[in-house]
Amino acid sequence: MPASTIATDVRGAIKTALAACSANIYDSVPEAPIVPAIVIVPDSPYMELEVLGKSTTRVKLNYTITACVAYFSNAAALDNLEQLIISILGELDASKYELSTVERPSVTEVGTTTLLVSDIRLSVRYEQTA
């Protein structure tokens, strides 16, 4: 049986949960995201320790899910971003993930592309057993 890892059991699971969203989904920061895009990145604090031991380690992992759309027209971009955020929220199971806030939209430059982005704060518990 393959070892349990945060990459597969947490980031991979979030990516899979968001598969129905009409966007490119990245479980790490891409050099040049193709929009619309959803990017899963560690937040701060990243790991909150809950249980430490030789046989079990349980942590609360904090992530930012960044929703990104092309920024060509402010009104259209904002509408596209809002639709993407609502689709993301609709795909995340509240029994698995703790969602806290959606940050205000901001304009960001990635390479030569101008994006309208908003961050969604998400936490999940992860347990590693020996």
Full 3-state SS string of 39-103: EEEEEEEEEEEEECCCCEEEEEEEEEEEEEEECCCHHHHHHHHHHHHHHHHHHCCCCCCEEEEEC
Q: Is residue 50 part of a domain?
A: yes
Domain total in the chain = 1
Q: Is 34 exposed, middle or buried (0-12, 13-18, 19+ CB in 10 A)?
A: exposed
Is residue 1 over pLDDT 80?
A: no
pLDDT band at 119 (very low <50, low <70, confident <90, very high): very high
pLDDT band at 130 (very low <50, low <70, confident <90, very high): low
CA 108 – CA 103 distance, rounded (Å) = 14
Give the pLDDT of residue 54. 77
Tell me the per-residue pLDDT of 88-104, one tens digit each, with 9 for 90 and over. 999 999 889 999 999 99
Tell me the per-residue pLDDT of 19-36, one tens digit each, with 9 for 90 and over. 999 999 998 888 888 999
Q: Is residue 1 part of a domain?
A: no
Tell me the per-residue pLDDT of 50-95, one tens digit each, with 9 for 90 and over. 987 777 889 999 999 999 999 988 899 999 999 999 999 999 998 8
Containing domain of residue 79, as a range?
Answer: 6-129
Is residue 129 over pLDDT 80?
A: no
Q: Is residue 110 part of a domain?
A: yes
- pTM, full prediction: 0.89
Q: Are 40 and 21 in contact (CB under 8 A)?
A: no
Local structure of 109: helix, strand or coil:
strand
Give the pLDDT of residue 120. 97
Give the pLDDT of residue 20. 95
CATH number of the domain to which 12 belongs: 3.30.2000
